[in-house]
Amino acid sequence: MVDETMTTSGIATHGASRLQLVEIDSFNIELKDEDGFLGDRASKGAFRDILDKWRKPLRKTGEDPFGEESSENVSKKVLDAVLVGEDTKAAAVVQSVIEDFARELAYVARRLLKSKAWEKTERIVVGGGFRLSRLGELAIARTEIILKAEGFKVEMVPIRHHPDEAGLIGALHLAPSWIFDGHDSILAVDIGGSNIRCGVVETRRKKSPDLSKATVWKFELWRVAHDEPSRDGAVKHLIKMLQGLIAKAEKEGFELAPFIGISCPGVIKSDGSIEKGAQNLPGNWESSKFNLPANLIEAIPQIGEQDTAIVMHNDGVVQGLSEMPFMRDVKRWGVLTIGTGLGNARFTNRNGKG
């Protein structure tokens, strides 16, 4: 279990299992079968492999609807267009891919739902870029039908926020509500192996005290994979991004809270170090000598005239937290994030239904 204590500043610790409104029952579960990690069966790469499998027999007869384009480079937009196009054979290929992927996603979800940490889950939110497409939405809906046919009483729904923004908006829920007093926004960071996003998130608490109308005012995207920086180089660039956003927000008249919420892959320890799961980040982020929150506080000791507080948590958890205001009608719910792997987290509402 991750640490549930509080720091002397009153901010929840990094990687905490108890937040103001939810218990984080589990995250980053690494289930395996004879073929390896289950998450690999329902990742972005798995989807492309399934597409390639269905294209192979058509390639041999020269009927591949996607021509010479590699399955890796066939965009979701193209696949969506094929689904509603006049080429029935091409549409059938995409439908076959959706069906196979849904069965893989259902297999993974089934294993999670049978685990102690995920028992009695009522709703699963599916995040990641997959939900931006019609084919993704169909695969999610088909997964729910498969699970219900097997007797599981669970809903499967796409995450409502844009994938570029969910990990930023979710960072709001890492902070206790009092930190927003007199402030209308926070800084949020979403770290991934391919991209790092930094943004200014408006709380809009006057319109919605539960933060359901929170929105990203501005964010910056850095494609880390293109630049291949060192770990220290990545941190320096991240600091510049944050300092630039602070200047822009202050110029625009925002009252930034003295808080930075960070979403990061891996198992986050209470002191802000990363125990495991950060292998896709540039350099060694799991070193006992490296601590991202400490580095950021040293570089940005204050926001406005107040001391900076930082909380970091697992990226699947934070993306899931963006849905928290909309999950009050159930008690137990989870999130699956489809990306390079398949992230997962399960939550229990502390004051919800049930």
Residue 148: count other Cβ atoms within 10 Å of its Cβ.
13
Assess contact for 287 and 278: CB atoms under 8 A.
Answer: no
Q: How far apart are CA 278 and CA 296, in angstroms?
A: 18
- AA letter at 156: M
What average pLDDT does this structure show over 113-117?
94
Q: How far apart are CA 180 and CA 110, in angstroms?
A: 39
Residue 49: count other Cβ atoms within 10 Å of its Cβ.
18
Q: How far apart are CA 110 and CA 115, in angstroms?
A: 9
Q: Which residue has the higher pLDDT, 342 or 324?
A: 324
- What pLDDT score was predicted for residue 3? 39
Q: Is the dihedral of CA 274, 24, 326, 186 positive or negative?
A: negative
> For the chain, what percent of residues have pLDDT higher than 70?
95
In three-state secondary structure terms, 269 is: coil
Residue 132: count other Cβ atoms within 10 Å of its Cβ.
17
What's the token pair of residue 41? Answer: 């069966």
Per the prediction, the chain carries an average pLDDT of 91
The closest alpha carbon to 291, from 325, 268, 258, belongs to 268
Rg of the chain over all Cα atoms, to the nearest angstrom: 21
- For every residue of 178-197, DSSP letters joined together read GGGTT--EEEEEEE-SS-EE
213 pLDDT exceeds 70? yes
pTM equals 0.90
5 pLDDT exceeds 70? no
What average pLDDT does this structure show over 140-168?
96
Q: Is the dihedral of CA 61, 67, 68, 71 positive or negative?
A: negative
Residue matched to tokens 């849905």: 323
- What pLDDT score was predicted for residue 49? 95
pLDDT bracket for residue 317 (50, 70, 90): very high
Q: How far apart are CA 140 and CA 105, in angstroms?
A: 8
What's the token pair of residue 178? Answer: 């009092």
Q: Which residue has the higher pLDDT, 8 or 100?
A: 100
> For residue 32, how many C-alpha atoms fall within 13 Å in the half-sphere facing its CB?
3
CATH architecture of 162-322: 2-Layer Sandwich (3.30)
pLDDT bracket for residue 128 (50, 70, 90): confident
- What pLDDT score was predicted for residue 34? 73
- For every residue of 147-183, DSSP letters joined together read HHHTT---EEEE-SS-HHHHHHHGGGGGS-GGGGTT-
Q: Is the dihedral of CA 139, 142, 146, 151 positive or negative?
A: positive
Q: How far apart are CA 142 and CA 238, in angstroms?
A: 39
Question: Where are the domains positioned within the chain?
Answer: 32-114+120-158, 162-322
The closest alpha carbon to 139, from 172, 194, 95, belongs to 95
Q: How far apart are CA 9 and CA 164, in angstroms?
A: 30
- What pLDDT score was predicted for residue 343? 87
pLDDT in tens, 75-104: 999 999 999 999 999 999 999 999 999 999
pLDDT in tens, 169-206: 999 999 988 889 999 999 999 998 889 999 999 999 99
In three-state secondary structure terms, 39 is: helix
What average pLDDT does this structure show over 328-348?
92
pLDDT bracket for residue 11 (50, 70, 90): low
Q: How far apart are CA 256 and CA 261, in angstroms?
A: 12
pLDDT in tens, 216-248: 999 999 999 889 999 999 999 999 999 999 999
- What pLDDT score was predicted for residue 8? 32
What's the token pair of residue 333? Answer: 């719910």
In terms of Cβ atoms closer than 10 Å to its own Cβ (0-12, 13-18, 19+), residue 105 is: buried
